[in-house]
Structure 1
Amino acid sequence: MSSNILAEGVLEALSLLISMDSYVLDIIAVSLQVSGTALVLAALIGIPLGAFLGLTNFPGKALVTALLYTGMGFPPVVIGLFVFILLSSSGPMGSFGWLFTPYGMIMAQSIISFPLVAGFTMTAVMGVDKNLIQQLKSLGATKAQATLATLKEARLGVLVSIIAGFGAIISEVGAVMLVGGNIEGATRVLTTAIVLETRKGNFGIAIAFGIILLTIAFIVNFTMLRLQNKELRGNE
């Protein structure tokens, strides 16, 4: 029985992709738009912050680091609830009108991804040889130049941070369901479509969406792995 359902899902996925079904393409487009934008925002904030934490000692750093590590394991649905309250009509950001829109979903996913990007970047930067940093400073490099050089040295770890951030948000369902509302043609993404179709008993379509989601995740991770291997070969 289960094998028949799985086979039906595979055939359904192929059929939907080959036929270029507009319903499926819209869901894929929204998924990539929301998760891609959220990842870029998380990287723009998380990578510099991670580098700063990895290179700088200051009072309260232990507390900030503990908060960052806590954020890495924070339940996404709780973040979704927090963003929902912020964006609700009675919330401090209610005037933006972002609730049940892709903007609200991007905000939630950025918050989910940001601690992972910052935390893994910090760990990668801390693993760079301290002698290199001292040498750069002795040669007159500015703090910005030293930071960029350190990030270049730790680029494989930074790449891992981006992969981790993407994996956390492309597969997330609770937060985007709360903030986005799973509106067809507007905020429905692959994960929420899987939940919806499963509840309706359309297991074939649900499995098809699952296969598409796994394929996207595999393509992104495989591409990142190729880049990582290319970097490793270049360093030999």
Structure 2
Amino acid sequence: MDLLIDSLKSAILLVVALDPEMLAIVTVSLKVSLMSTLLASLIGVPVGFAIAFNEFSGKRMLVTVLNTLLALPTVVIGLFVYAFISRRGILGIFDLLYTQHAIVFGQVILIIPVVTVFTVAAISRIDERYRKTAMTLGANRRQTAWIIFREARFGILAAVIAAFGRVISEVGISMMLGGNIKGFTRTMTTAMALEYDKGAFTLAVALGIVLLAISFGMNLLFHFFQGRTRI
């Protein structure tokens, strides 16, 4: 118990002092997480909107598959991507393994289903009367889609925030594809795992505090935008 208390005190001092090593790790985490969230949003939002806005055969099955992919283990994605970007993989010539690009690649695959499913849910919540009213007033299909998108914007933002919260705290992909290289691919979660293995808890606890603060902030934003969808 004394060890935990002492580590917590030292960790708080480390956070307050803005330790350079801690800041470097946090910067890498935020960089790869923001980039992967942006790329996944550029793919997932249009796909989710198209699924929700259109009626087609197999739609329910597609949504079921996407919901299933929400539970896809990060180590499975790590193994899958590793097989493609390793030296013997079909993308090996690009030398992506153990780089930030590799982490982003894996994280994008991880959260595309998150963005897509939440976007589908946000669009599906919009009252069908919006579509009918817009079409009655002479709006074409593109204009109607834009009206629906505007009404669902808070739900879509919540989808993006949820995706960011998923990747900022993942460890499997970052460890397997990034290699935990100091100052280059070491993220908060991989650094915490390393410090634990070394028996050095101060930096691990400090990073845990920062990660919890970020996650708490993301959840506040998520619930805020989720609340706005119900107004």
Question: What's the TM-score, normalizing by structure 1?
Answer: 0.90
CA-CA distance at 1:120 after TM superposition: 1.1
> Deviations for 1:82-103, whole angstroms, at most 9, x for unmatched residues?
1111111111211222110000
User: Alignment partner for residue 195 of structure 2, among 185, 197, 207?
Assistant: 197
Counterpart residue type for residue 12 of structure 1: S
Cα contact 1:13–1:212 (8 A) shared by 2: no
CA shift at 1:211, angstroms? 1.1
How far the C-alpha of 1:136 sits from its partner, in A, is: 1.6
**C-alpha RMSD over aligned residues:** 1.9
Partners of 1:58 and 1:96 lie apart in 2 by: 38
Does the Cα contact within 8 Å between 2:28 and 2:185 map onto a contact in 1?
Answer: yes
Q: Which residue of 2 aligns with 1:66?
A: 64
Counterpart selection for 2:168 from 170, 191, 201: 170
Offset, 1:13: 2.5
Can you list the C-alpha shifts for 1:164-205, whole angstroms capped at 9, x where unaligned?
211211110011110001010100000001100001111232
Question: Percent identity, aligned pairs only?
Answer: 39
Give the match for residue 84 of structure 1. 82
Are 1:137 and 1:146, in contact at CA under 8 Å, matched by a contact in 2? yes
Counterpart contact for 1:80–1:178, Cα < 8 Å: yes
Residues 54 and 146 (structure 1), Cα distance of their counterparts in 2 relative to 1, 3 Å cut: same
Unaligned runs of 5+ in 2: none
1:49 has 2:47 as partner? yes
Corresponding letter in the other structure for 1:107: F
Deviation at 1:221, TM superposition (A): 2.8
Shift of 1:5: 3.2
Alpha-carbon contact 2:175-2:190 (below 8 Å) kept: yes
* Residue of structure 2 in register with 1:179 after alignment: 177
Residue in structure 1 matched with residue 95 of structure 2 by the alignment: 97
- 1:199 and 1:157 map into 2 onto residues whose CA distance is 40
Query: With structure 2 as the length reference, what TM-score do the two structures score?
Result: 0.91
Structure 1 residues 206 and 138: CA distance shift in structure 2, 3 A: same
Q: What CA distance in whole angstroms lies between the structure 2 residues aligned with 1:127 and 1:18?
A: 43
What do the CA deviations read for 1:112-152 (whole angstroms, capped 9, x no partner)?
11101100110121121112112222333333332222122
